[in-house]
Amino acid sequence: MEQYRRVVTGVDDAGKSVFISDEALTPVQPPLLGGVKVLQLFGEDAIPTVPNDGTFPDDLRFFASGRESYRFMICSYPPASEVTPPEDIEAATAETERLAPGILDLGPQAYGLHYTPSVDFIYVLGGEVTITLDDGATTVLRQGDSLMQCGARHAWANNGDTWATFLCGTLGADLDETRHAPAA
C-alpha cells in the first residue's frame, strides 16, 4: 500500500523552531467503505495557539467535532467497479471503528447522502470523483479541481476507471439543520 510523508514542525521548550516528526504514514481501508482509503494527517478539537509543539492527538475522532475543530486528510476512492462490500457487516463495523475512530459518527447515512457540521476544502490530486447533491445534481471533479463543501447534503462516487485521490481540509462549524429540506 502507498505511503505518504508527513513532516510536522513546532517550537520546543527553549523557543527554538524544530522538526517534531518526519514519518511515512499508510492510509487505512475501513471495510464498511468498500475499498476507500483514508489517512488523517493532522487535526485538533480546539482552536490552536501557535507556536506550539506540533503534537497530534492520539484520540482524535474522524470528523471535526465542533466550531473549534479542524482536520486535514487524504481520501482515495476506487473506481465503482472495484468497490467491495463487506460480507460480515458486524465484523466490518467493528474493524471500521478500530481503523478510523469516529468515521461512523454520522450513522447509517454516512456513506450515502450525508452532511457534516463543517466547511470542507477539497482539492483533487488525481483521478476523478463525482459529488451528488440531495436533488440529484452532480458535478465531476478532476485533478486540479477544488470544491468548497459548505454543509450541503452530498455523496461521493468514483465513476472513472482509475483511483481518485483528494486532499480534504475541514473546519468545524455551527450546524443549522433547519436550513436542510426534509430528506427524501
Tallying the residues shown for the chain, one arrives at 184
pLDDT one digit per residue (tens) for the chain, 184 residues: 699 999 999 998 899 999 999 999 999 999 999 999 999 999 999 998 888 888 888 889 999 888 899 999 999 999 999 998 899 999 999 999 999 999 988 765 555 788 888 999 999 999 999 999 989 999 999 999 999 999 898 999 999 999 999 999 999 998 887 887 776 6
Give the fold, CATH level 3, of 4-176. Answer: Jelly Rolls (2.60.120)
Number of H helices, E strands in the chain: 1, 10
Residue 107: burial class (beta carbons within 10 Å; 0-12, 13-18, 19+): exposed
pTM for the model stands at 0.90
Where do runs of H (alpha helix) occur along the chain? Answer: 89-99
